[in-house]
Amino acid sequence: MEYRTYPFLNKPISVFIYGGDGDMLRHGEDCQQLLDDMFSLGINTIDTARGYGKSEEVIGKWLKGKNREEVVIISKCCLPAFGFIDRVRVKNIRKDLEESLQALDTPYIDILYLHRDSFSQKVGPFVEEMNALIQEGKIKAFGVSNWTAKRIKEANDYAKEHNLQGISVSSPCFSLAEMVKDTWKGSAGCVSIQGESRKEEREFYKDTQIPVFPYSSLGRGFFSGRYAHDDEEFKKNLDFFAKGQYCYPVNLERLKRAEELAKEKGCSVAQINFVFLLNQDFPVHPVVSSKSKKRMDENIHSLEIHLTKEEIVYLDTGVR
């Protein structure tokens, strides 16, 4: 495992992050061995959320047996309510955080995200409230999930003008697969940074070097390697969201190219996907919810696979 350090947190962050949105954690199953397995592979960073079922409670139980200072916990607040009702409001930040702290049984959360955005809300009050929580020691830093580059810049400009800490981390949808359609609902919708139409988003991260902790880093299984681009059963085996977001010719062609390079390099399609993510012009920490220690270990070994810049471009665009 490799680690990176950032000025907003006095702990190293593993390049691969464990995603606490899996079914086992959501349903409150015994995941102590699973989390121990991930930790033994060097993953010291876990992503969860208020709204991921019983995930925080499961992680909190596991945390009791660990040195809290060796673990980085990410959680989220203001998730849309049942029926996709917009909850991105300042008043919900502290309420959700207090519930998360209780569920995780921890005095602080390392990084707290605002989950989704609401264009009807001004950024200033969000920045002010997050900084108040930092001053109180309840969080160390804050980030956003599904915020556009424009809104992040607006928030960080406000923070700079008022001598406050700004948005330190962003969690958009990002993998080799392009989200052609947003099938989620609620708030301002989901934000992807893949594809030619999102080039300006990626340029923003290149310019600012704000680290990206992407969700759906395998395209909800699209690049898991379980399916081939010409598999007739492909669409039947993907879930509703993956079908609606990714099952389009542009991504099937990307998958075909990934299969080609995986064969050349003697590795898996999933590893090719992660090599693509890890070779951006800005720091990327893929969030992965594997239930298998072996599979996660294979993912981590993506760090040892080399692709040229030309191969990265070819994977994405088909241009050699």
Domain boundaries, the chain: 3-315
The sign of the torsion formed by the CA atoms of 183, 187, 190, 191 equals positive
CATH number of the domain located at residue range(s) 3-315 in this protein: 3.20.20.100
Contacts of 57 (CB under 8 A, 6+ apart): 28, 103, 104
State the pLDDT at residue 239. 74
State the pLDDT at residue 235. 66
Tell me the C-alpha distance between 96 and 117, whole Å. Answer: 16
**Model pTM score:** 0.94
Task: List average pLDDT for each run of 10 residues in the chain, which is 320 residues long.
Answer: 97 97 94 97 97 96 95 94 80 96 98 92 97 98 96 98 98 93 70 93 98 94 81 71 81 95 96 97 97 96 96 91
Record the tokens describing residue 191, joined without a space: 């934000």
State the pLDDT at residue 138. 98
Separate counts of helices (H) and strands (E) for the chain: 13, 9
State the pLDDT at residue 184. 67
Tell me the C-alpha distance between 115 and 143, whole Å. Answer: 9
